[in-house]
Amino acid sequence: MSHQIILYDLELSSPKEFWSPNTCKTRFALNYKGIPYKTVWLKFPEVRQEIPKLTKSKAHPTVPIIVDIRNGNKVVQESWEIAKYLEEAYPDTPSLFNGNIGAHFFLHEYCSRRLLAKIFKLNVLTIAQKAGEYTQWFRETREQLFKMSLEKFVGDESVHAKAITENLDALGRVLKVYPYLTGNQVGWADICLASYLKFLHYMRPDQFQALVLGDKKAGKQFGDWWNRMGKYMQDAPPPPTARI
């Protein structure tokens, strides 16, 4: 199938693997919708060089960004904006919001603020290590941003681990009753959580095992849900029969 969309993603190591939490959201959403796409991989410094050429703006350059070839090479940046765009531009594909965009937006915000920020702290030193030739570049740009060393920024890992457990609690309670975060249908909320946990899984398999699968109250439910989400967490859409 020829691609309709170009997805810009962040390359960390070779072979190219998806790991970046924000670009995973767009990749998994395209997979869920079954929209064919091609990935353009950018290394960290290339994001700053290449993305302004697409956005033609001085706004902070980030990925994900998509170019929709089917729609006159329309450029859309930012994972939430891309989700809303895909929902409108591809109405014949499975819905990300299932008629309740507000619930999905709430869970997006909840997972971003309560989980991603903490996961980032657990992961940041591993990102630096895995950045290979860009290790120093990554360290310097982040230390400038945080105005402190990465080690100081990370602080005590056990504090972040405890916060992740506490913040997963409400989600685990939902998954004890329903197969997905907003009920019986998979949607954007699940894609957000899967993307953030994929980031943890990729960078810190030890912490993923301890905090998610080993969660005392809902480890089994998280494991079953993770397996259900597996078909969307790939580098291309699953075949139509396996999609939902």
Interface with ligand GSH (CB under 6 A): 10, 20-23, 44, 47, 62-64, 78-79
Closest CA to 79 of 5, 11, 29: 29
Of residues 1 and 145, the one with the C-beta less far from ligand GSH: 145
Residue whose entry in the numeric block shows the structure tokens 């301890």: 210
| Amino acid found at 1 | M
CB of 176 to ligand GSH, least distance (A): 29
In angstroms, give the least distance from the CB of 244 to ligand GSH. Answer: 24
> What secondary structure does DSSP assign to 203-234, as a single string?
H-HHHHIIIIIT-TTTHHHHHHHHHHHGGGSS
Instruction: Give dist(CA 237, CA 92) in Å, integer.
Output: 16
Nearer to ligand GSH, 124 or 175 (CB): 124
Q: Among 21, 8, 14, which Cα is nearest to 201's?
A: 21
User: Which backbone phi and psi does 115 adopt, to 5 degrees?
Assistant: -115, -50
Residues 237, 33: Cα–Cα separation, whole Å: 8
Output the smallest distance, CB 198 to ligand GSH, in A: 12
CB nearer to ligand GSH: give 129 or 173. Answer: 129
Q: How far is the CB of 64 from ligand GSH (least distance, A)?
A: 5
Comparison of 116 and 175: residue with beta carbon closer to ligand GSH: 116
Residue 68 dihedral angles phi and psi, to the nearest 5°: -95, 105
CB of 201 to ligand GSH, least distance (A): 15
> Exposed, middle or buried, 60 (CB in 10 Å: 0-12/13-18/19+)?
exposed
Residue 39 vs 62, nearer CB to ligand GSH: 62
